[in-house]
A and B are shown apart, each in its own frame.
Chain A
């Protein structure tokens, strides 16, 4: 039983982060039907910058804010110079290739500036030894903190989207960009905003994951973004609660398979799940089938 709870908590915690990443991916997908294939590098860069600044003596909070600020600039650059021009060119998916390219550039730059080896990531929220005993089971506060933070972010985000004018504007842009432009919504700003928000979510996810693991290196983040994508597809690309649910399902499933069946199968399981969902139910658990007007 203790094992089950341990696995469950780890799964929920890791899954909540997948969900956060998924929401970030969803955001840009709604507004522009594009996705940042280099999202993993955004996570990595934020975590590495934070670690680096803290190592230089900066205050933790300040370091995180500074890293996030850099991410904002980066996302603006990505949207303006790699996504927008690619969308102007006719035909499928140049944006996939170009955002992937940005991700790879970031990986190369990080290796150049910070070295290719793993860098230690300090404990930001609690430390590995902090725990709380619930029903006789040691429950790590780090995991709980991650779950709580992720949930809080999702709630805040949903409130923003449903409750504020900006949120409604974003949904309008998501439904029909041209129409939204015609009725006076600043589409450019919203699209840019969605990329920035997506980057911020990714950056925060990066910090959360890095602090669980304890190290960051330039290749960090790539696999995580795939898991984020699995979560997004599992939950349905249109839905925020779906993304969180999808992430948690994916995370828990991973841990259960690893814990009860085979640890070797753990990794491949997430990818197999992706393929399964795409074949059986592409709109995910909570999404809707899309209709295109001709």
Chain B
């Protein structure tokens, strides 16, 4: 028995069904009454708006509280450009989208420097300022009285290439535009860009260490989301013919937010369902109007808690972030890891690095070197500074003193995503993965920095983009086999036990084709079998010519793998050499076992 959710999802996302629905709307509208055509046009616009907010809030996790401002920017832009500047429809609509996108970019400008919560407030302030400016700048916008006589189907003065459009023609255009935009967005989401959006949402730190620029990604999300809203606004203006500031106030932003939340943050199909509900409900239930505030408020207050995935969570399968077409092309001929080209400069040199936090010195004048094809273990009691050192090298902290050179280039002080972009990858003590992604999607995230095709190519689903994704998917497949997790590759990570997550995290690092890998306690909590798989992966790294630093407590695990050992205590190196020597070093013994007085580990 196939679950109803699967059936429903397959039906709704089946290309034949979608095309049939579009065709039904496109051709069937000539039999419908004027009122129905109009409300269906509103429905298309609401779908566009919901999708735009879904991209921004549901996928990229950026709360937009002034979305009606972006909608309004597009509406007024297109209305004014057509009415006052006489631009044709086919120019003013794309301009509306562009102006919307620009305002999204500007609003998100401080994205790198402030917490998300402040960004949310910025969107709120933007929405309010927009309304104020529109109201006061009457020369341009008509002010509070509004902008009348916008070329529109209502006034019957909207023409494209000399043909006057009526409500039905316009509806057809809007249907096609909506369908195309949704197709583009769908492809975009199922590409590395959509996955990057979601990764930044789910775990900012992990995203950075994979080479995903956080601020840039957030800005991208705002720009695209606002652009879509602007497009919807432009289409709205020429349907209705009159623009007033009251149509773009906070209440409208809240309506869009409610629609998106109910649809299910992250799900495109859910947004369509929700838009249908919220377009028709106020119309059908006139009595609803009185209780509307209470109903909307209750929806916002409790949906995220009781039904976090909204309608989509209830009725459909979770959305996936890999194109089925790419998956089909992937094949099984992938390679988990390719040998790295040799380079004379190949080395990671840590020189005299010190890290101080206020009065606390976590890392004290540490120097070490990593070379290709060698695994170095970093050992020390708890709190000796191992993780801090890795954090400094990988760019999460800026060192207080000292230098770090990677392939001859100084990287001290660079942000984490830039360092990751150069091929220096690290894993975390506490796996930073995206719980909702499947194993496959999480692994694919590792390859992010290696992609060459652009967002546009991904959105258009160009063959080059599909081929590239397929190639990486083949590698992903190979890694799953190497890590022994091929059978669970399509299960969401959150449904799998802890050991799997560690394996996925290391596997993900493999996919980034790193030249250096810093692994922070990867074996903690693994079973014997899992440790064997892990060891296999690490040896594969060594064989491929990577530089590997392995932080570990598990002596047996380490002993078989490593070439040399660095021991830290209280931030200083107390031993550097091979394992045998370490076992005999008095400094190490003292650090671990203490002197005759009870000491314990230093902080």
Contact = CB atoms under 8 A, between A and B. Distances in A.
- Whether A and B touch directly in their complex, counting CB atoms under 8 A apart, is answered as yes
Interface of A: 33, 35, 81-82, 85-86, 89-94, 96-109, 111-112, 222-223, 226, 229, 233, 264-265, 267-268, 271-272, 274-275, 278-279, 282, 290, 294
A282 B113 contact: yes
Contact of A275 (B126, B254, B301): B126
Interface string B195-208: 00000011001000
Contact of B294 (A82, A90, A92, A105): A105
Nearest to B209: A294
Contacts of B299: 101
B595 interface: no
Interface string B257-300: 10001000000000000000000000000000011111111111
A112 B305 contact: no
B110 interface: yes
11 contacts: A35-B117, A82-B305, A93-B116, A97-B300, A98-B301, A108-B297, A109-B294, A226-B128, A265-B136, A272-B129, A275-B125
The majority secondary structure among interface residues of chain B is helix
A99 B250 CA distance: 16
Contacts of B297: 101-108
Contacts of A112: 290-291, 294
Contact of B293 (A93, A97, A104, A279): A104
Contact of B257 (A82, A97, A107, A274): A97
Contacts of A279: 109-110
A275 B114 contact: no
Which of A97, A111, A278, A279 lies at the interface centre, i.e. has the most chain B CB atoms within 10 A of its CB? Answer: A97
Contacts of A101: 296-302
Contacts, number: 128
Q: Which 4 A-B pairs have the closest CB atoms?
A: A101-B300, A108-B293, A101-B301, A104-B297
B88 interface: no
Contacts of A278: 110, 114, 118, 121-122
A222 B132 contact: no
B435 interface: yes
Interface of B: 61, 63, 65, 109-110, 113-118, 120-122, 124-126, 128-129, 132-133, 136, 201-202, 205, 250, 254, 257, 261, 290-302, 304-305, 308, 391, 396, 435
A265 B120 CA distance: 23
B293 A98 contact: no
Contact of A98 (B126, B133, B304): B304
A82 B302 contact: yes
Given A86-B304, A101-B297, A275-B126, A91 B201 contact: yes
Contacts of B128: 223, 226, 268, 271
Given A268-B136, A271-B132, A274-B122, A94 B294 contact: no
B132 A267 contact: yes
A76 B250 CA distance: 27
A114 to B, nearest CB: 13
B305 A271 contact: no
Given A82-B305, A98-B302, A278-B121, A92 B201 contact: yes
A260 B396 CA distance: 48
B63 A92 contact: yes
A94 to B, nearest CB: 4
Contacts of A267: 132
B291 A294 contact: no
B451 to A, nearest CB: 25
Nearest to A35: B117
Given A92-B61, A97-B304, A268-B136, A108 B292 contact: yes
B121 A274 contact: yes
A94 B205 CA distance: 20
A99 B435 CA distance: 26
Contacts of A226: 124-125, 128
A278 B106 CA distance: 12
Given A111-B293, A274-B121, A282-B110, A94 B305 contact: yes
Given A82-B305, A229-B121, A278-B121, 13 more contacts: A35-B117, A82-B302, A90-B435, A94-B304, A94-B308, A97-B300, A100-B254, A104-B294, A104-B296, A108-B293, A268-B136, A282-B118, A294-B205
